[in-house]
Structure 1
Amino acid sequence: MAEQRANNQQQLWIGSAGNGLFVWDISQKQPRQIQHFQSDRNNPNSIGSNYVNAILVDTISSQPAIWVGTGNGLSRMELSNFSQNNWQHFRADGDSGSLPHPTVLTIFQSPDGTIWVGSYGGLSKFLPESGTFRNYRHRLNDPQSISNNYVYAIHAAENDGQQSLWVGTSNGLNRFDPKTGMFKTVDERHGLPNGVICGILADDAANLWVSTQKGLSQLNPETLEIRNFSLEDGLQSNIFSPGVFAKTAAGEMLLGGINGLNRFDPQHIDNDELTFPVVIVNVSINQQPIGQLRLQEIRSNRVLEMAYEDHSLQLDVAVPDYRLPQKNQVRYRLNEQENGWQIADANRQISFPLLPPGEYVLQLNAANPAGKWHPKIQELRITVAPPYWQTTWFYGLAFVLISLIAGLFHHWRVRQKVRQAEVIAAVREAERYHVREQTARDYHD
């Protein structure tokens, strides 16, 4: 069973992997009627494929219809005459207005009635006026495009005036703004346990529940705070299955994986408010640990001074929360860098292979197993000394030396000019003397 939905007529739509689509009229008493739709090569109006991956019952549009995502595109049929087995098909024909890939993985209808389709070719918006699609695909080296073309889940953002969507791919969760066509990715760098997004649901408090292939995450869409759940918390497995997720009318979450199904009420999930600060366990400079005395000074003063030849820095940190230590998180950022917080690896190591000379502020923050961050952000001030030829005293000494040399050179030039003037004056005086002497001899003669 790929997916099922119940519409207002109390009909249960059941998709299979290879045997088409079943419609079960659960409002009827025994015997219950089941209608079966299968693909028929000799009937172009039959359902597009017997492999059904997604089902959407559209009751918002003026013409209510059933949308079925298959291994051979989309099939649509109006609910008013579904018994006639007359399907309309939308396939991947290779042109810009068709589906980008024949395998449809998920179908979603936003509150304004827009039909959105996820496939192995990206995200597609159905344009009912033309019966075509506007496609959004991953573009290399474009961080504002969708992060991956494998789209497994789509969900509308709650309380969002921009009518944006959350799009789950095989390489991250994307927040999509339909007005600008831009995507913003949330992935392991932000705290998700894995980039393969299998399902997206929203609870009554507007928090997102995101199933992945490495656990389940609760995400606050406003702050992007993430709380992760794993096998230790009671999951059937850390590996969930793409497309296997649903929310009941009572608000319970249903999420399926390789070892069964998890069912829970988000309102009954405890919020763990106990948090701890980050502890610096060790500091290594140029791959060499510093001594305990210096480490204690750094912990006390929150200042680390490095020489110019100290090229690399590594900090080993820990969170003194021993309830589920493997689920503690540490995030850090240097000088409130533009790319925001970085999540430390599982070894709780923070490395900077090459810090240029300058002054830095390293901010540290820890989260408990529930994903709650400590309210106080710790800071470590780091100073990397410049080489001597870039220091103020060197500049001052160089200025004094240059000034002294310039002064001596000027004095030498002045002395040279004075000597030249004296020589010229002496030559002229000798010439005048010679003229007077010659004149005197001529007079006596």
Structure 2
Amino acid sequence: MAIVLRVFLLFFACLSLVHAADDEVLDAQFLVRTWQSEEGLPGNVVRSLGQTPDGILWVATAEGLARFDGFEFHLVTGTGAYRGQRLGFFRLITLADGSVWISTFQGGLLKVEQGELIRYLEDQNEPSPPLVTHMFHFMGSVYYLCGEKLFRMDSFQPIPVEDASPTLQQAVERTLREEERRGRTFLPVSLGRLHHRRGDSWEVVDGSLRHRTPEHPETYETVKALSRRVVVNDMLEDREGNLWLATPSQGLIRIRPSRVHRLGAGTPIIDLAIRCAIQTREGEWWIAGRGTGMDRITPNGLEHLELVKGGYDRPVTCLFQDREGDLWLASTDGSVFRWRNGQFEIPFSEETGISKVQAMAQASNGDLWFAGGRGVARWDGQTAHRYRLDPRRSITEFSTLAIGDQDQVFAGTTDGRVLELQGDHFRSLDLPKSAAGRRISAIYPATPEELWVTTIGAGLFLRKDQVWHPFGASCGLPDERLTAMVATPDQSFWFGSLGGILSASRQSLLRHLEHPSSQPRWLRLDRSDGLVTRECVGGSQPGAWVEPSGTIWFPTSSGLAGVEPAQLGLQEDPPSLQFRSVEINGSPVPVSSLQHGEITAGPGHVRLNFSYIGICLSAPEKVTYRVRLVGIDDTFQLLGNRREIAYESVPPGNYRFDVIAINGDGVSSQFPSSIRLKVLPAFWQTVWFGILCSTGLAVGAVLVGVYITRRRLRRKLETLRLKGVLERERSRISRDLHDDLGASLTELSILSALIAENPRASDIEQSVDTLSSKARNVVATLDEIVWATTPHEDSLRSLIDYLAAFAREFLDSARIHLHTDIEWKIPELAIGPRRRHNIFLATREALNNAVKHSKATEITLRIAIVGPELCIRVSDNGQGIPLHRRDSGHGLGNLRKRLNDCGGDCEFESVPGEGTCVSITLPLPFD
């Protein structure tokens, strides 16, 4: 059964290797990646290569010229009559100023300008024309070698250089040496040896690509992945140290050294999934795979050992070597074994507390500690001691164990807790809630005050000064699923994760605590660095192993992966960053405009979309980005490897978009690349509109306040006026009651008394007539008072009706004929009791004067509305008023005064012997 399982695992391991080969071919030394037309290359016939200072790789093929940013090929087209033509490229030349030149097999020369090909030299119509092979800058001019002749480019006109100065000749020789160093010779048909800047050299010999190091100049290593026949048109070492080959049929090839190697690569059992592994002090490798038993690598080869003969089918989950050299092994949910004298033994057959072990450690006094599904136990060589756990939890499964320099014992659980031994029991150190339920994969007590903890899913934690500090995705951690942790003597931390091998220096992590803006530098190694699979498995101890030479080994699902930190060759150059496009409300802005000034958008709120790329040809997929839009957020946010970000509904204002690119080795741009942007406001969002609105609101508020104040004042004055009118009306009523009714009633009382004292019939009859007349006058006076004070009679029509009725009754009793001329189209106007009463009294006074003094036989009453006035005319046919008496009697002065008090007027017209006319006027409408 075990043999069948091993064959099955071997089969799937082989399938994973075949899948890996589709992207990048692995061998012991080098990684080889090929691009052909299927990946966007214009054609598989690649003629020449070049790289500009911005990191862009330029590829000249038989089908056209393309620029490569690590992800995509962008075709550069010709202009005019050359658009779409096969231009017969020979050599691609890039200069320090970023210009790109291409010579042709027909002796022509072209230049890339504004993303298009511009021809500077026409092709020659001759069998073998001289070709442009080298170009360089000197004293502000461009020089080139065509055949063996030197020319200076003056605009589009080449000028031969007949007599070169010594400095110019030195520039020519320097250019020749540099081109020869990269494998190009003066002759167009010859390809030499490329000398790497690290001292390595590359050359193609007998159809094979060979590599030689300065440490071993006589030893050549052949790139096995290119062991078939290799033909190369051009070679290029880019600024990151990668070797690029231009081939005539195989496309574009990149070769870079592998930074991760495998233990015993090619050995079937070593290529399988591995739980854990250690190297003993004797130099033997003990490897626990997914199957049962152990694999041991000795100088004699690979040996498989069974823990118990006869069907024990539990795999090993934990390995440990004590100071005496004994090797301890723990099986999954089973017993603990010890390798001694060439055989396995079970030392704790009688001690059930030491089983299901997942982690082991040894204290300075030699005691062994075991942690697992049955808790924590200590063995002093004779007796096992069990420790009381956290009383709040009855069941605790431990996943890791660590002992500090001062014998502090720390244990981690599978449900995300870290416990510290204090006395005879463990207490919980209360990790943050983000670690709840996450398996503790490693604990590293760096100092008594500094405890580092890794989790599978919640990242890295540091306990310092009794406070936990998390390190996760927000501070750049590439993967929070950490499966292992080891520390090297140079204070570097190395982590296994499900996303590859990670590393960061302890100093950078501590510096981040003091200065949060200082991001830690994270190194990430994955398949692009030589890992067959980036999944470093977890759940077993040890999760990583450091051998004495300094190599760090990580168990993976495809064997043991080793890293030599001293030989990594970290990429210290940050990625150069380029903006691909900016979209405003979905409309693209030309990339050329991004380099000049600021972009204007709007008016009003806009949607912004920024697209960018960090140029890293070694591992473009590992480049991560930090961005911010100054004006909205002043702190950088980490986007991972997303090369695009959108901002919704950006309000008007001035902004600056900053982006920082970070390569896979954790090196970031020193300064961000920026785009300035101005979003114009809509007219209602402008300052002047705001000032105008504010001013309008202020003026409106003042006017409303004035209006409200005046209205309140008017109401108050009206209240006071009404109160005064009411008081005056009360006084008038009181006066009328006293003067008219009081006097009349007094007179009635006197007459009644006289009648009672003189009972003669003749006197009684006369007194009764007088008494009756006086009583009627009292009733009339009382009726007038009631009419003047009744609210529903307060109208102009009621006044006119009452005047007409009074005049008719009054003149009938006086036996004088009455003529009336009254206008009956009267508006509905309220005139108030005071005016109504005064008009009535004035009219009555005029009628009374006519009856008493005029000796008239006819009286005419005319009432009309003339313009804005009420006009009342009382005229008679009497004797008139003598001139000497017009101002001395008949109540004429009182009449005029009464009308002036209510806003009216009174005029008298009298002709002796013909009669008198009294005109009463009152303005309309009334307030």
8 Å contact from structure 1 (residues 280, 317) kept in 2: yes
8 Å contact from structure 2 (residues 553, 562) kept in 1: yes
Q: Does residue 310 of structure 2 align to residue 5 of structure 1?
A: no
TM-score by length of 2: 0.39
Paired position in structure 1 for 2:450: 164
Q: Does residue 358 of structure 2 align to residue 53 of structure 1?
A: yes
Paired position in structure 2 for 1:398: 693
Paired position in structure 2 for 1:197: 482
Query: How has the CA–CA distance of structure 1 residues 132 and 282 changed in structure 2, closer, same or farther, with 3 Å as cutoff?
Result: same
Deviations 1:252-292 (A, max 9, x none): 21111111101232111112122233211122334x13231
3-state secondary structure, aligned to 1:393: helix
Give the counterpart letter for 1:132 in structure 2.
F
Taking the aligned partners of 1:176 and 1:209, their CA distance within structure 2 comes to 15
Q: Does residue 329 of structure 2 align to residue 14 of structure 1?
A: yes
Deviations 1:298-347 (A, max 9, x none): 3432556454331x322111112223221222222344999954333444
Shift of 1:213: 0.6
Cα RMSD (Å)? 3.9
Taking the aligned partners of 2:528 and 2:504, their CA distance within structure 1 comes to 19
Deviations 1:382-414 (A, max 9, x none): 455566545321221123434555677799999
Q: 2:386 aligns with which of 89, 112, 119?
A: 89
Give the counterpart letter for 1:379 in structure 2.
S
Q: Does residue 469 of structure 2 align to residue 183 of structure 1?
A: yes
1:304-383 maps to which residues of 2 (within 5 A)?
A: 305-310=601-606, 312-335=607-630, 341-356=636-651, 358-383=653-678
Deviations 1:402-438 (A, max 9, x none): 45556777999999999xx9xx9xxxxxxxxxxxx65
Paired position in structure 2 for 1:150: 439
Shift of 1:15: 2.2
Paired position in structure 2 for 1:433: none
Q: Does residue 545 of structure 2 align to residue 251 of structure 1?
A: no
Query: How has the CA–CA distance of structure 1 residues 70 and 147 changed in structure 2, closer, same or farther, with 3 Å as cutoff?
Result: closer
Could you list the runs of 5+ residues in structure 2 that have no partner in the other structure? 1-315, 509-518, 722-892, 898-927
Shift of 1:186: 1.7
Taking the aligned partners of 1:69 and 1:339, their CA distance within structure 2 comes to 47
Query: How has the CA–CA distance of structure 1 residues 104 and 357 changed in structure 2, closer, same or farther, with 3 Å as cutoff?
Result: farther
Query: How has the CA–CA distance of structure 1 residues 301 and 166 changed in structure 2, closer, same or farther, with 3 Å as cutoff?
Result: farther
Query: How has the CA–CA distance of structure 1 residues 134 and 279 changed in structure 2, closer, same or farther, with 3 Å as cutoff?
Result: same
Paired position in structure 1 for 2:589: 291
Taking the aligned partners of 1:337 and 1:171, their CA distance within structure 2 comes to 31
Give the counterpart letter for 1:21 in structure 2.
V
3-state secondary structure, aligned to 2:693: helix
Query: How has the CA–CA distance of structure 1 residues 210 and 398 changed in structure 2, closer, same or farther, with 3 Å as cutoff?
Result: same
Taking the aligned partners of 2:457 and 2:632, their CA distance within structure 1 comes to 24
Query: How has the CA–CA distance of structure 1 residues 272 and 124 changed in structure 2, closer, same or farther, with 3 Å as cutoff?
Result: same
Paired position in structure 1 for 2:581: 282
Number of aligned positions between the proteins: 399
Q: Does residue 393 of structure 2 align to residue 107 of structure 1?
A: no
Taking the aligned partners of 2:632 and 2:551, their CA distance within structure 1 comes to 39
Q: 2:371 aligns with which of 69, 79, 91?
A: 69
Taking the aligned partners of 1:18 and 1:411, their CA distance within structure 2 comes to 90
Give the counterpart letter for 2:370 in structure 1.
V
Paired position in structure 1 for 2:566: 267
3-state secondary structure, aligned to 1:122: coil
8 Å contact from structure 1 (residues 114, 125) kept in 2: no
1:205-244 maps to which residues of 2 (within 5 A)?
A: 205-221=490-506, 222=508, 223-242=519-538, 243=540, 244=543
Deviations 1:98-117 (A, max 9, x none): 6x753211111233332111
3-state secondary structure, aligned to 2:618: coil
* Bigger radius of gyration among the two: 2
Deviations 1:86-135 (A, max 9, x none): 3223476x723x6x753211111233332111111223232331422224
3-state secondary structure, aligned to 1:241: coil
Paired position in structure 2 for 1:37: 347
Give the counterpart letter for 2:352 in structure 1.
S
8 Å contact from structure 2 (residues 402, 443) kept in 1: yes
Query: How has the CA–CA distance of structure 1 residues 122 and 407 changed in structure 2, closer, same or farther, with 3 Å as cutoff?
Result: closer
Paired position in structure 2 for 1:118: 412
Shift of 1:2: 2.6
Shift of 1:368: 2.7
8 Å contact from structure 2 (residues 622, 641) kept in 1: no
**Taking every aligned residue pair, what percent have the same amino acid on both sides?**
18
Deviations 1:148-173 (A, max 9, x none): 5311112234xx7x832221112232
TM-score by length of 1: 0.76
8 Å contact from structure 1 (residues 147, 171) kept in 2: no
Paired position in structure 2 for 1:174: 460
